[in-house]
Chain A
């Protein structure tokens, strides 16, 4: 198989590895400050629909459309983050899942989103290098945050929120920052996603997708940026790699996840474990 054929067959998969890498990073941002927020799939959906409507209905160029999608999910995150982030733990998870359902049902019932049929004939505008650039920018921004007072405060909030407050850290604005930034990344990923899949339907961004994205981050490990990237790639590629197993494919998929969670609770990429290997050597 030559390069052109290979790309024709697998380009969607390769682009999805990049896009879902961004999604896993987006949820790892909220997880890194101890928030179990499961609205990332919905923010991805908002970004996808807004940018796809911009390029189809309003015939805008690609970049302004991507920008609109990103801004759209950012703005929605800001509005729902303000009240919702007063919750924590499973209550936050429930509220954000509920928000995800609201988004799905709105997408299902609006005319401009094409209702249950979704949007079709979205121009194929996403280039591989645009996905790569978006992914790299995300990694760089998050890495800058990690080594700043903001990243340290996120970690402190995750470990002991009360102690963090008593150290003079205003936790609420920081949580909102993590949530909104996560939504921006998800919105951009959604916009890129919409312009290589040709169609969008409301079901793409529902509960199942939200859980998949969480699984990517947990599987890869959230104690660093390589973890979510690795998790995103594995969850995206696994169904393809296991294609030979046919109907047992999803079962094998689940089994791998169970084994990882049982034996590697910090995820696949755990810098502490690597450091331990290095010390013993």
Chain B
């Protein structure tokens, strides 16, 4: 199985505090990889490293074999990495359809003069983009709201819109930061089905999530972070039985003095 993303020995320090310490993990093409761990373990920091918002103090990030270090976020995005955000970052004053179409920016190749002349390439590209955006909204179940402002959506629907927007970038790797936080069970099932269907289309997913049932059912492999270190890696089954993971989540049993 070829590896799409390799993270090797990533260390990230904030003024002496190690947010991430020698983190290595691989995402295989066409896999759903889970990233779990207690709050503050460094999961979102890892996403910020991959997408170019932060630069690691040490380590290497390879995407399709090429280093991403020092590449600005917009170019990393253009190479095929899309993400959603734990604290939702939509464009609240824009309509749903425009939110999705914004993410198609780098795929719309018409030129400035085409815009001013409203030439055929421009009109065709815009029409296709609009149709594709509608299809994506339909896919996440938001097509009836397509003309509303993103800020008026419910919390769960905003998360769905973030996924639709990320998919509009036609990524090869999708980073989902707590995609089902705040969702009800029905919505969670919808998202689970959606992510499975994305895997069926050979999209690779790296997701952060606290809902253990969701993660265990969905992921092909898991990485557990605690205090910035990888404490376990493996199949969902192996992780559930790993003593280090149980200790991190439940606290260690103190050996009783004999």
Q: A interface vs B, CB < 8 Å? A: 141, 144-145, 147-150, 152-153, 155-156, 159-160, 162-171, 272
A168 touches B77 (CB 8 A): yes
Q: A148-B115, A168-B78, A169-B106 are in contact. List 15 more A-B contacts (CB 8 A).
A: A144-B116, A147-B126, A150-B112, A152-B105, A160-B91, A162-B89, A163-B89, A163-B90, A165-B73, A165-B74, A165-B77, A168-B74, A169-B105, A170-B74, A170-B75
Using Cβ atoms and an 8 Å threshold, which residues of chain B touch A155?
A: 91, 93-94, 98, 102
User: Are A149 and B105 in contact (CB-based, < 8 A)?
Assistant: yes
B112 to A167, Cβ gap below 8 A?
Answer: no
**Given that A166-B77, A169-B102 are contacting pairs, would A145 and B115 also be in contact in the complex, using a CB cutoff of 8 Å?**
yes
A160 to B92, CA, bound (A): 9
Complex: how many Å from CA A159 to CA B151?
Answer: 11
Minimal beta-carbon separation of B1 from chain A (angstroms): 27
Question: Which residue from chain B places its CB closest to the CB of A177 in the assembled complex?
Answer: B112
Whether B158 sits at the interface, judged by CB under 8 Å, is no
Counting from the closest, the 6 A-B pairs by CB-CB distance are A168-B77, A159-B91, A168-B106, A163-B89, A148-B115, A149-B108
Bound CA–CA A149/B129 (angstroms):
10
Which residues of chain B from 66 to 102 have any CB-CB distance to chain A below 8 Å in the complex? 72-75, 77-78, 82-83, 85, 89-94, 98, 101-102
- Residues from chain B with a CB closer than 8 A to the CB of A145 are 115
Kindly report which residue of chain A lies nearest to residue B162, judged by CB atoms: A163
Let me know if B74 and A169 touch, CB within 8 A: yes
Which residue from chain B places its CB closest to the CB of A150 in the assembled complex? Answer: B115
Q: Decide if B120 is an interface residue (CB 8 Å cutoff).
A: no
Evaluate contact between B105 and A168: CB separation under 8 angstroms: yes
Show 24 residue pairs from A and B whose CB-CB distance is below 8 angstroms, ordered by the A residue. A144-B115, A144-B118, A148-B110, A149-B101, A149-B104, A150-B112, A152-B94, A152-B98, A152-B101, A155-B91, A155-B94, A155-B98, A156-B102, A160-B89, A163-B90, A166-B51, A166-B83, A167-B103, A167-B165, A168-B103, A168-B106, A169-B102, A169-B105, A170-B74
Residues of B within 8 Å of A159, CB to CB, are 91-94
Do A156 and B77 touch across chains, with their CB atoms under 8 A apart? no
CB proximity of B73 to chain A, nearest CB, Å: 5
Bitwise interface map of B from 181 to 195 toward A, beta carbon under 8 Å scored 1, else 0:
000000000000000
The smallest C-beta distance from A70 to any residue of chain B, in angstroms, reads 16
State A145–B118 Cα separation when bound (angstroms): 10
Closest B residue to A171 by CB, please name it. Answer: B74
Partner of A153, one of B78, B85, B90, B105: B105
Q: Known: A156-B94, A168-B169. Is A148-B102 also a contact (CB below 8 A)? A: no
Question: Is B116 a contact of A141 with CB atoms below 8 Å?
Answer: yes
Which B residues lie within 8 Å of A168 (CB)? 74, 77-78, 103, 105-106, 169
A-contact 0/1 string along B165-203, CB 8 Å cutoff: 100010000000000000000000000000000000000
0/1 string, B16-41, CB within 8 A of A gives 1: 00000000000000000000000000
